[in-house]
Amino acid sequence: MRIKTVFLLALLPILLLTGCAFRREQNRVPDIPRSSLKAGDFTRDEKGRAAYPGALLGVDVSSHQQEIDWERVKADGVDFAIIRIGFRGNTEGGLNLDSAFTRNYVEARRAGLQAGVYFYSQAISEAEAEEEAAYVLGLLDGIPLELPVWFDWEEAANGRTSGKATSAVGDWAKAFCAAIEAGGYRAGVYFNQRYGYSIMHLERLTDYSFWIAEYDDWQSFAYRTEFWQFTGSGRVDGIKTVVDLDLMYAPEVENEETQESPG
């Protein structure tokens, strides 16, 4: 008995050290550039829209916004537009052009807005993500974009992606983005906090633009992003419906890597 007790006492420090190391690994912060945004620098403008020093205001739109008067949108202080170019169906999975894309792209650029596009993905494999990227590149056919092409994967209840929100989504995002960049455009990934922290494995995607949806008075997401969708119920002159509003940070704002959390 004495020998067993001595052995267990000798083993205890090793077990404790091993347990601590395991917990440190479990809690390890992924190798992702941290945000340098400061909570106290977020404000609201005279129309109640989020503002940040040096940031530009934008909208993201699709055919759901109906016909848009882009000259009025520009006059209302909007500097850029992220336009849905297409989508994969939630059930049968067909690839579709957004019926308003061409009009929105042409008229937004004519009004002087910077333009980017997003594709609503319902991919359930890397092959399907690559198929979506090829479809987008075919639709773009070399037209100029100032902003990235974003992969917007969302889990659709009772659809083909139901229950598929796992780490594999990050692989699909990477496959899409790599194909888009091989086609000559900048690529990016759109996500919310849940996907960003738990599903996407963003350390694999740091070569691409990050665009987060976080509906709050300031952006608390810990990792560096270029774009923030801050509301889904904004109002802009020239758009008949409610619309998503976004900020695009000035390059120098989110170019500084820091180990501090926002605020």
Residues 148-169: tens digit of each pLDDT: 999 999 999 999 999 999 999 9
Entry pTM: 0.85
d(C-alpha 158, C-alpha 163), whole Å: 9
| Residue 165, CA distances (Å) to 31, 122, 132 in order | 22, 11, 18
24-47 pLDDT tens trace: 333 445 689 999 999 999 999 999
Amino acid in the structure at residue 16: L
Write down the pLDDT at residue 254. 66
- CATH 3.20.20.80 describes domain 31-248: yes
Please say whether the beta carbons of 237 and 75 come within 8 A.
yes
Residue spans per domain, the chain: 1-30, 31-248
Tokens of 209: 């633009």
Q: Of 102, 117, 128, which is closest to residue 185 (Cα–Cα)?
A: 117
d(C-alpha 132, C-alpha 167), whole Å: 19
